[in-house]
Amino acid sequence: MTTRDRSLNQLPADSEPKPSAEEPDQSLSSLLSSTQESERHRASPSVEGVVKPSGPDQVAPAEAASSEHVSLRRLARFAMEYVAVWREWQFAKHAGQAALASFQSLRAKRPDLAGRALYEAFVCERNGIEASAARAILRHAEDSFAAWPNERDLVFRDVVQYLVISEYLVSNPKRVGTTINMSRVVSRLIPMDF
């Protein structure tokens, strides 16, 4: 062996000593064991592999179809509620306007009537009912609007609010109540002191 070959085989003093043949290389064995461990993880699914990805772009096709179905159902429900709100608002607005026009016409024809007698005549004429049935409607209107939360005298707005809401509920028997505050729509059309 030449001196040149001997110098190439010698390691600098600051380098790691070579392992002897009897002592296995610890770094090699640790590298080998970590490689085997990573291959084992690839072969068997871990928790990270089982967790479903999230986000709208990462949804499985079956789940995407299901979520679109739910979204369409929500959209349909929202559209139906919107239509119900619009119908109630239109009903209250038109019924309130018609009641106001009828009341003004009745007042012009019968200037001798005022207060409860005028309201009774209005209900009789508008609904085509007898005076006893009209008085029952006035009592219900008073109980619903004039007696709660503060007791006061019955006004024309109370009568119209009661008539509009009860007529709407009778014409829509599947509805348990109203979606909007129909009293507010009527109160915008008919002032309290009218």
Q: CA nearest 98: which of 117, 120, 137, 126?
A: 126
DSSP 142: I
pLDDT of residue 30: 47
Q: pLDDT per residue over 57-69, tens digit each?
A: 555 555 555 566 6
Q: Which residues contact 85 (CB under 8 A, 6 or more apart)?
A: 179, 180
The mean of the pLDDT values for the chain is 76
Quickly state the pLDDT bin for 112 (edges 50, 70, 90). very high
* pLDDT exceeds cutoff 90 at 2: no
Locus of tokens 């306007």: 97
- Please state, as a whole number, how many other Cβ atoms lie within 10 Å of the Cβ of residue 137: 20
Looking at residues 167-191, what average pLDDT do you find? 90
Residue 165 or residue 29, greater confidence: 165
Q: Are 123 and 140 in contact (CB under 8 A)?
A: no
Angle between helices 156-171 and 182-189 (to 10 degrees): 140
Quickly state the pLDDT bin for 110 (edges 50, 70, 90). very high
* pLDDT exceeds cutoff 50 at 49: no
Choose the weakest-confidence range: 37-41, 79-83, 145-149.
37-41
98-116: b or e for each residue (b if 16 or more CB lie within 10 Å)?
Answer: ebbeebeebbeeeeeeeee
Quickly state the pLDDT bin for 186 (edges 50, 70, 90). very high
Residue 45 or residue 97, greater confidence: 97
- SS3 labels along 31-69: HHHHHHHHHHHHHCCCHHHHCCCCCHHHCCHHHHHHHHH
Q: pLDDT per residue over 61-96, tens digit each?
A: 555 555 666 688 888 888 888 888 999 999 999 999
Q: Are 91 and 183 in contact (CB under 8 A)?
A: no
Residue 19 or residue 173, greater confidence: 173
Locus of tokens 């209900």: 123
Q: pLDDT per residue over 5-27, tens digit each?
A: 544 445 444 444 444 444 444 44
